[in-house]
Copies of this chain bind each other. A is one copy, B any other.
Amino acid sequence: MKKLFFLLVMLTNGMLIYAQSPWEKDFTKPEATEIDEPKPKIVTPGTNGAPPSDAIVLFNGENLDSWIMSKDNSSCRWTLKDGSMTIKSGAGDIQTRQKFGDCQLHLEFKIPVNAKNSANRNNAGNSGVFLQERYEVQIFNSYQNETPLYANGQMGSIYKQVIPMANAASKTGEWNTFDIYYTQPQFRSNGTVEKPAYVTLVHNGVLVLNHFEIQGSIEYIGIPYYKPHGKAAIRLQEHGSEISFRNIWIREL
């Protein structure tokens, strides 16, 4: 039923825009290249770090209601304190209740000061933002490259798929921002990928990934590959390090 509606909208829209074939137009007139409709929707921008008017707020410092534990869908057991949400070591990953497709995601995070001296390399500020539960934008202490790690595992990488164009990491103890522009993959009826996922990442105001073609689900061992899926949650990884998060919002595109 939904599909029927969708295609009828396409139909109407198609007739609107393609009422005239491009080769039948008179391109000596400026009107030939003017498109009146649809007017873009009005979005009131946020001021002073507030989210735009059409954003879904996922965390604003007051409660953890938008999040659940990934392993069993129970209530989020990470720590809420001083307006931030902090990983509880051993508690496991969390994810949004809501599922998303194409989106603009904003979040802020802080790696604890002691992370940089950790004897355990995996504790050196290790976390990650899993888009649609499977494509990881890596969080790791990479400030001044003080924690040696392979370059495609640094903060701002798509883990084991690409080296970010710049290392714009904040010091441990200071806040980072991620602004993520994400396009979900599309699948054929036989389960193969028709169009891969893409991600653009602006880290602390610095472009570090520009329309990167995601190569499949993140794999610690082995070759990334795609499995078909629909809309899915934003997942935050718990990997032993007590990273804090704040000001998380998302816009559906």
Contact = CB atoms under 8 A, between A and B. Distances in A.
A229 B23 contact: yes
Interface string A193-222: 100001010111111101100011001111
A167 interface: yes
A45 interface: yes
Interface string A212-245: 0001100111111111111000000000000000
Contacts of A33: 152, 160, 190-191, 219, 221-224
A22 interface: yes
A151 B206 CA distance: 30
Contacts of A18: 3, 189
Interface residues of A, number: 91
A22 B189 contact: yes
Interface string A146-175: 000011111010001101111110100000
Contacts of A205: 45-46, 52
A35 B192 contact: no
Contacts of A27: 191, 221-223
Contact of A198 (B36, B151, B211): B211
Given A168-B45, A189-B18, A206-B251, A38 B163 contact: yes
Contact of A181 (B46, B187, B189, B207): B207
A132 B35 CA distance: 25
A122 interface: no
B223 A34 contact: no
